[in-house]
A and B are shown apart, each in its own frame.
Chain A
């Protein structure tokens, strides 16, 4: 069964870069059958898509974050990653890594989430 596990610092300083990794087990990132993505949820608020990517390198970022986001895949480690630059307190959120099904147009697998706080 597919499992996704987020990892990275739980605290990031304002203006710095938030970096997270998602480790995939029970499946391979090296597939175009599915895509991968990141979704965030500020404390007590709703879900916000950050972006999606295919292992081939195609990426699709939320226009509201596009200037600050980079997502990539590391097939050798079966991982994919997120970098969010120039963070502010408004970026404090639980970050989920997800798998998406392009035929069903749905995120069918979610990691447990990792809380990242932006604070000095």
Chain B
């Protein structure tokens, strides 16, 4: 079965750039999306189709996807960005999620 791998945790200082990776076999041949989940809340999509932002998502969120990896980049990270982030792709009509990355803003 298809798997997506994320680092369990990433730390970043306020105002700096955070990068969260998601690895999977030939992931670049699929579309990747990213969800943000703050504690006690439901996930919210922040990036879809590799690099598109839904309306209402700040411009500091961006994404890329090529080869075997997708990356979520948060520029000028703010305290409010502290959350769990999940990548997701599709494999044979099944949604596959990465294990999630806890972003800590120190």
Which residues in A have some Cβ–Cβ distance to B below 8 Å? 37, 39, 46-49, 52, 60-64, 96, 104-108, 110-113
Contact = CB atoms under 8 A, between A and B. Distances in A.
A52 B33 CA distance: 17
Nearest to B95: A49
Contacts of B1: 63-64
Contact of B45 (A47, A49, A106): A106
Interface residues of B, number: 23
Interface of B: 1, 31, 33, 35, 42-45, 48-49, 52, 54, 86, 88, 90, 93-100
A108 B44 CA distance: 7
Main secondary structure of the interface of A (DSSP, over half): strand
A115 to B, nearest CB: 12
15 contacts: A46-B86, A46-B100, A48-B97, A49-B96, A49-B97, A52-B93, A62-B94, A104-B48, A105-B31, A105-B33, A106-B33, A106-B45, A107-B88, A108-B48, A113-B42
Contacts of B93: 52, 60
